[in-house]
């Protein structure tokens, strides 16, 4: 399980600033586990500033992990600092900003 967690974190580190992905895209890219497992692994990222956990949202573009940050607004603040607009805890233009790890294979 430790390797899976590290793999999820490694993929998260590749998300470009100003872009977002979701838990399912990470799980699909790794061809192991589910969106829920990827979310569980991302929850283990707290305190590691090398992992941009704020760039990983749910499949609807909602900031479902916001309550796992030091403050409930920190996830949104970090996204907005990268130019990502958030309204009512949801990414505006989610489809346009979505980054799939499969882009690495092109």
Residue 31 has pLDDT above 80, yes or no: yes
4 contacts 33 by C-beta, under 8 angstroms: yes
Q: For the domain that residue 9 is a member of, what is the CATH number?
A: 1.10.10.10
Q: What is the pLDDT of residue 103?
A: 83
| Residues in CB range of 8: below 8 A, 6 or more apart | 26, 27, 30, 38, 41, 42
The phi and psi torsions of 62 (rounded to 5 degrees) equal -85, 145
- Structural domains counted in the chain: 1
| Parent domain of 97 | 3-105
For residue 105, the model assigns a pLDDT of 78
Query: What is the residue-wise DSSP string for 44-80?
Result: TTTT-TTS-GGGEE-TTSB-TTGGGSSSTTHHHHHHH
**Mean pLDDT taken over the chain:** 94
pLDDT per position as a tens digit, 47-80: 899 999 999 999 999 999 999 999 999 999 999 9
Higher pLDDT, 33 or 71: 71
């Amino acid at each position: 399980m430790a390797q899976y967690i590290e793999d999820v974190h490694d993929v998260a580190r590749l998300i470009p600033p100003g872009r977002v992905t979701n838990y399912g895209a990470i799980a699909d890219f790794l061809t192991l586990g589910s969106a829920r497992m990827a979310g569980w692994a991302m929850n283990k990222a707290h305190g590691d500033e090398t992992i941009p956990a704020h760039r990983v949202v749910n499949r609807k573009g909602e900031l479902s992990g916001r309550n796992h940050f030091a403050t409930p607004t920190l996830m949104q603040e970090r996204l907005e600092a990268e130019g990502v607009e958030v309204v009512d805890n949801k990414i505006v233009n989610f489809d346009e900003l979505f980054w799939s790890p499969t882009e690495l294979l092109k």
